[in-house]
Chain A
Amino acid sequence: MTPGEEGGGAGAVAATDRPQAAEERDPEVRATDARRIAVFGGVYSNWRALEAVVEDARRRGADELYCLGDLGAFGPNPDRIPPRLIDADVRTIRGNYDDSISRGLDDCQCGYTDPRDNHFARLSYRYTFRNTSERWREWMGTLPEQRRIEMAGREVLMCHGSPRRMNEFLWESTSSTQFLDWMAREHGADVVLCTHTGIHWKRRLSGGGWFANVGCIGRPPNDGRTDVWYTLLSTEGDGGEEPTSASSPGEREAPAGGNGGRDRSTGDGGDAALEVEFVPVSYDHEALAEEMRREELPEEFVETILTGWWTTCLEVLPAKERRRGRH
């Protein structure tokens, strides 16, 4: 989900609106020597957070950076995102929002039914579409839908919603471990990284791998704080340093997405070659809020940036995730 995505209303989605089946797009595996990679999703036009995340990830020694899609929506001036991703050498995949924008669809292929959610989603989609230049629209269309790397002997699959569907919501409280095990097995991955929901969480798979939702950097994870979160995937023993960060260390232990902050548990029999770590990043959110107001984006979106609470597009939240928020 992207906040402010336009729902398709009820009923069927036309053939041309449909992302390709996962089986048709499984990419080649690229072996990497990287000891640590940074992965984030849902930029939502938040270029200030993007700059802060890139800087933080570099400082923490990330050898490669990945973005799992949904570049636009919610925030101001979407054209500022692609050049920054390219300049920072971020390997980007296409999210459903980018897919819709690149193909000129009427909506984001998400399917809200609540009228209030749809109202804000429509405003946001139209703003983003209107302010995305032809050049970047075409570029989004060239982005791959998934990426696979081999890191420390483990196969890592990166996707937007899920390995089987670009627009599937995988929430922590509605994804059973047995289902995640099946999905990783079905798609031949030891580690699966996805985004799309905006709230990060991770699960140890029965075979010792990981399934992680890397969250989004476009807005806070509905936790009443203004930081945004990204994910580090590190080879074992490479995740212990505590570099000075722009973020306050005290906030690292904050509950977010149900897993708390830093969590490098690898003790399940010692067979884990990779560690998943969530990292909070502070950025000049007040300046972003001002820019959103200048662009006449809804005050409800501005409020989320300033308070850390989601105000719209809440209908898809399951009970536990909904209960943690204010609205």
Chain B
Amino acid sequence: MDEQDARPEGAGAPEVELEHLDTLWFQVTGTICNLECSHCFISCSPDNHTLEFLDLETVLDWVERSGEWGVKEFYVTGGEPFMHRDLAAMLEAMLQRGPASVLTNGTLMREKTLRRLATAHEESRYSLEIRVSIDGPNPEMNDPIRGEGTFERAMEGVRKLLDHGFLPIVTATQVWDQEEDEAVRREFMENLRAQGYENPRLKILPSIKTGREAARSRGYGEGERVTAAMMEGYEEEQLICSSARIVTSEGVHVCPILVDEPDSLMGQTMEEADEPFELKHQACYTCWLHGAICSNYGGIGEEVT
């Protein structure tokens, strides 16, 4: 029985149209990563070749054509994008046309690449955002998730980025209990300030309970799905499938969260990918609940009462 069949009658999955291609994502290193985090929703690892590297020419071609569609900004993810030897060349090309963001684990910050990126950033009118994933304000919380020694290595990455004039957005998946939120935020800010990051930028994300994270966490409950009724009056622009697509080695997918799902592949061209998408996956529920989880702003906020 697939997910669709598991729905109660009358609770069909709603469709979301691509309103405009604001954001063009690239999965530049596929599912290949130097780390093997226990909460990875697409189970990236050094030897997961489900999705492969994108070559430079492919990326440059998409960036060039983005002008036709009026793309506002570019996002780069993996796997670990800094494993790609052409990452700097890709970002340089993007920054000629618009703002770019890179999602990294911060452990592969090479001096030569950072110097190149700093220059590209200085010369561009657009922002280059570097988002460094650290899943806790200390090694005790982070390392069991991301691997032994990764807290110190990522913090070193943050320092190097600061040295090159970047203001990295530290991105943490909420692997702690909700009630610990305030204390965790405080400790994060204190520890980042201790690294010389005077005004730290911190973004907290919900976990996506698929891939390895399904096994680590409780996974999704049967009721955690998006129904047509839940979309009534909902701001569709909060869902990135209304404003983004992602290019991988396989083609164009609906969003970066679902690249592991066969039906997320919409085709080989943007024309083919300009179709409505049915929110039938349980990960869609997380996106619906929190909104804008993949973009640089937004995420899990303070509960407003």
Residues of A within 8 A of B (CB): 6-16, 18, 106-107, 111-115, 118, 122, 165, 171-179, 181-183, 258, 314-316, 318-323, 327
Contact = CB atoms under 8 A, between A and B. Distances in A.
A255 B202 CA distance: 28
Which 6 pairs show the lowest CB-CB distances between chains A and B? A15-B233, A182-B70, A176-B98, A113-B301, A9-B304, A179-B72
B73 A174 contact: yes
B182 interface: yes
B98 to A, nearest CB: 3
B126 A173 contact: yes
Nearest to B122: A320
Contact of B167 (A173, A181, A316, A323): A323
A212 to B, nearest CB: 15
Nearest to B231: A12
B299 A174 contact: no
B301 A112 contact: yes
B304 A107 contact: yes
Interface SS of chain A: loop
A179 B233 contact: no
Contacts of A321: 127
Given A18-B233, A178-B70, A9 B99 contact: no
Nearest to A318: B127
14 contacts: A9-B303, A10-B289, A10-B291, A11-B290, A107-B304, A111-B301, A113-B302, A114-B202, A118-B301, A165-B237, A178-B66, A179-B73, A179-B98, A321-B127
Interface in B145-181: 165-167
Contacts, number: 124
B289 A11 contact: yes
Nearest to B232: A15
Interface in B86-136: 97-99, 121, 125-129
A316 to B, nearest CB: 6
B249 interface: no
Given A122-B304, A176-B97, 18 more contacts: A8-B301, A10-B291, A13-B238, A14-B233, A15-B234, A16-B233, A18-B235, A114-B302, A118-B302, A173-B127, A175-B72, A177-B97, A179-B72, A182-B69, A183-B70, A315-B297, A319-B128, A319-B166
B71 interface: yes
A16 to B, nearest CB: 7
Contact of A8 (B99, B182, B304): B304
Contact of B291 (A11, A174, A176, A258): A11
Contacts of A7: 301, 304
Given A10-B301, A183-B70, A318 B99 contact: yes
B302 A176 contact: no
Q: In the complex, which of the residues B199, B238, B290, B304 has the most CB atoms of chain A within 10 Å of its own CB atom?
A: B304
